[in-house]
């Protein structure tokens, strides 16, 4: 028995190939549609894969001419041979399906752009696949509409952003936790300044540090406090933190800085958890460096998962050219984003992480003329912060 696999555009074409190759006694064992070419199974052409077999005893059929018909048989074989060549040539030179061409090019570009930005392959594949399934042919063929839809779709994958919002009469306690050196203290100072010096309502802000490990930590935040005119307190124990917060309950916003914790040191993370447990009403955001590898971010989130995390802050977006790993991580972990920091300047270099702004940073912005259906807020940090903090203005 000789078994062979054939790829053809349709069953009649496959049958012709099989007949020419294996002879008239060949039988079809199995056939199925397959995708050829493309990326990860996307954008490929649909072909038919046919498995055929022939009994090898019968395989010599064309090569064993009847005793008295040599010439006729040879002529038939020649004709079959030329037919075979013609079919092969026709198959190879067949143009791609014209209807599918524009759609493939455009979605392929988008897929590549996401991958180039560091979006995980699984997520990029999933997004492109779903957009391809959802949109009509007309939409897929229209570059402008497709771009806008993909922007919107990428934004929709992110949880709704969760920046700080203050309520009159309710002191808000906001912790920033995270690995060492990600920019926690600087971000605390930026937020303190934004809220304390907002043009319409100057919030009563206090900064507390629980970082009594690093020698320079207290002078660092004290210096920020002095320059910005914002009081700073130090909590050496969870109990002290609790007492400080109770004593400052008239404040609008209490920002709590924490020591950098290594994701590998479980005991360090546990010690920090005690500080958080001492404060009943609080918001805890984890700061991650935007340019980190997705795998490292995943480890960090796991290491901090014993804490009641409410959101993510991506820092140092000015130091990375690709935000794809951060974007993928935000989609994967489901924690809302609050802020992006984009430089060392206090307080300027911080922005609210609206979905629209994150997507603009990820893949570039949609031109204004096709920004029709989007109701995105301005990425301008000052105006967004002020709008959110509009009570009493
Ligand atoms: N480029 C850039 N640098 C930043 C940003 N945020 C903070 N930094 C810098 O990063 C360094 C560390 O910042 P810190 O605020 O001290 O970081 P930290 O997380 O408090 O560090 P530890 O307390 O030691 O864990 C400083 O030099 C900051 O100026 C940012 O958005 N972009
Ligand atoms: Mg610090």
Three-state SS across 188-217? HHHHHHHHHCCCCCCCCEEEEECCCCCCCH
- pLDDT over 60 (residue 288): yes
What's the gap in Å between 143 CA and the centre of ligand 1?
A: 40
What's the gap in Å between 329 CA and the centre of ligand 2?
A: 23
Question: Which atom of ligand 1 has the smallest separation from the CA of 350?
Answer: 31
Q: Which of 176, 180, 182, 183 to mutate to test the pocket of ligand 1 (most atoms within 8 A of CB)?
A: 183
Residue 72 banded pLDDT, cuts 50, 70, 90: low
Sheet of strand 350-352, all strands in order from the earlier edge strand to the far edge: 232-234, 205-209, 253-257, 172-177, 283-289, 311-315, 337-341, 350-352
Which residue's CA is the nearest one to ligand 1's atom 26? 183
User: Any residues with CB less than 8 A from the CB of 151 and at least 6 apart, and which?
Assistant: 356, 359, 360, 363, 366, 374
- pLDDT over 80 (residue 84): no
What is the Cα–Cα distance from 273 to 294, expressed in whole angstroms? Answer: 24
Query: Any idea where the domains of the chain sit in the sequence?
Result: 2-92, 99-156, 172-388
What's the gap in Å between 347 CA and the centre of ligand 2?
A: 16
Residue-averaged pLDDT of the chain: 81
Region 151-159: mean pLDDT is 93
User: Any residues with CB less than 8 A from the CB of 366 and at least 6 apart, and which?
Assistant: 147, 148, 151, 360, 374
The percent of residues in the chain predicted with pLDDT above 90, rounded, is 52
Which residue's CA is the nearest one to ligand 1's atom 13? 183
- pLDDT over 70 (residue 375): no
pLDDT of res. 132: 86
Question: Which atom of ligand 1 has the smallest separation from the CA of 189?
Answer: 15
pLDDT of res. 32: 79
pLDDT of res. 331: 96
What's the gap in Å between 260 CA and the centre of ligand 2?
A: 6
The verdict on the CB of residue 183 being under 6 Å from ligand 1 is yes
Question: Which atom of ligand 1 has the smallest separation from the CA of 341?
Answer: 31
What's the gap in Å between 278 CA and the centre of ligand 2?
A: 20
Q: What CATH number belongs to 172-388?
A: 3.40.50.300
Region 175-180: mean pLDDT is 96
pLDDT of res. 286: 97
pLDDT of res. 89: 47
Residue 86 banded pLDDT, cuts 50, 70, 90: very low
Cβ atoms of 260 and 152 within 8 Å: the answer is no
Region 132-154: mean pLDDT is 83
Nearest to 43 by CA among 130, 132, 154, 127: 132
The verdict on the CB of residue 305 being under 6 Å from ligand 1 is no
Nearest to 202 by CA among 361, 2, 392: 392
Question: Which atom of ligand 1 has the smallest separation from the CA of 182?
Answer: 19
Whole-prediction pTM value? 0.71
What is the Cα–Cα distance from 203 to 171, expressed in whole angstroms? Answer: 10
Q: Which of 175, 177, 181 to mutate to test the pocket of ligand 1 (most atoms within 8 A of CB)?
A: 181
Q: Which tokens hold the place of 378?
A: 């301005």
pLDDT of res. 387: 28
Q: Count other C-beta atoms under 10 Å from residue 84's C-beta.
A: 15
Residue whose entry in the numeric block shows the structure tokens 């790829």: 7
Region 88-98: mean pLDDT is 41
- pLDDT over 80 (residue 372): no
Which residue's CA is the nearest one to ligand 1's atom 27? 344
Query: For the segment 314-354, what is each residue's pLDDT rounded down to a tens digit?
Result: 999 999 999 999 999 999 999 999 999 999 999 999 999 99
What's the gap in Å between 122 CA and the centre of ligand 1?
A: 32
CA geometry: angle 303, 309, 310, nearest 5 deg: 150
Cβ atoms of 230 and 278 within 8 Å: the answer is no
Q: Which tokens hold the place of 354?
A: 């609206």
What's the gap in Å between 205 CA and the centre of ligand 1?
A: 21
The verdict on the CB of residue 186 being under 6 Å from ligand 1 is yes
β-pairing, 205-209 with 232-234? parallel
What is the Cα–Cα distance from 383 to 347, expressed in whole angstroms? Answer: 13
pLDDT of res. 320: 95
Question: Which atom of ligand 1 has the smallest separation from the CA of 186?
Answer: 15
pLDDT of res. 143: 79
Instruction: For residue 315, give the ligand nearest its CA.
Output: 1
The verdict on the CB of residue 162 being under 6 Å from ligand 1 is no
pLDDT of res. 39: 66
Residue 62 banded pLDDT, cuts 50, 70, 90: very low
pLDDT of res. 103: 42
- In this structure, what are the phi and psi dihedrals at residue 172, rounded to the nearest 5 degrees? -105, 125
What's the gap in Å between 184 CA and the centre of ligand 2?
A: 5
Query: For the segment 198-255, what is each residue's pLDDT rounded down to a tens digit?
Result: 888 899 999 999 998 888 999 999 999 999 999 999 999 999 999 999 999 999 999 9
């Amino acid at each position: 028995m000789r078994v062979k696999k054939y790829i053809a555009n349709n069953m009649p074409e496959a049958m012709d190939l099989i007949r020419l190759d294996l002879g008239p006694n060949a039988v079809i064992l199995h056939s199925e549609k397959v995708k050829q070419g493309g990326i990860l199974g996307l954008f490929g052409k649909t072909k038919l894969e046919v498995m055929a077999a022939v009994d090898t005893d019968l395989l010599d059929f064309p090569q064993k001419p009847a005793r008295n018909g040599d010439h006729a048989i040879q002529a038939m074989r020649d004709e079959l041979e030329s037919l075979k060549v013609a079919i092969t040539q026709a198959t190879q030179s067949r143009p791609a399906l014209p209807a599918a061409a524009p759609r493939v090019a455009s979605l392929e570009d988008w897929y590549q752009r996401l991958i180039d930005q560091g979006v995980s392959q699984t997520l990029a594949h999933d997004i492109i696949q779903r957009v391809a399934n959802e949109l009509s042919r007309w939409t897929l063929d229209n570059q402008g509409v497709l771009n806008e839809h993909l922007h919107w779709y990428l934004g929709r994958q992110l949880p709704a952003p969760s920046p700080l919002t203050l309520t009159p009469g309710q002191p808000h306690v906001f912790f920033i936790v995270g690995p060492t050196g990600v920019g926690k203290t600087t971000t605390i100072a930026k937020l303190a300044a934004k809220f304390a010096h907002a043009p319409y309502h100057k919030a009563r802000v206090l900064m507390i540090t629980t970082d009594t490990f690093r020698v320079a930590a207290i002078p660092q935040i004290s210096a920020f406090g002095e320059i910005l005119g914002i009081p700073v307190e130090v909590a050496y124990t969870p109990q002290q933190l609790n007492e400080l917060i109770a004593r400052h309950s008239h404040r609008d916003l209490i920002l709590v800085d924490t020591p950098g914790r290594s994701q590998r040191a479980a005991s360090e993370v546990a010690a920090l958890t005690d500080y958080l447990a001492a404060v009943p009403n609080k918001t805890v955001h984890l700061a991650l460096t935007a340019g980190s590898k997705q795998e490292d971010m995943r480890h960090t989130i796991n290491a901090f998962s014993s804490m009641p995390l409410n959101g993510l802050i991506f820092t140092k977006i000015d130091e990375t050219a690709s935000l794809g790993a951060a974007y993928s991580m935000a989609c994967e972990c489901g924690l809302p984003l609050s802020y992006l920091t984009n430089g060392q300047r206090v307080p300027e270099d911080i922005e609210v992480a609206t979905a629209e702004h994150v997507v603009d940073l990820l893949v570039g912005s949609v031109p204004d003329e096709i920004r029709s259906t989007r109701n995105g807020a301005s990425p301008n940090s000052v105006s967004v912060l002020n709008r959110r903090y509009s009570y009493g203005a």
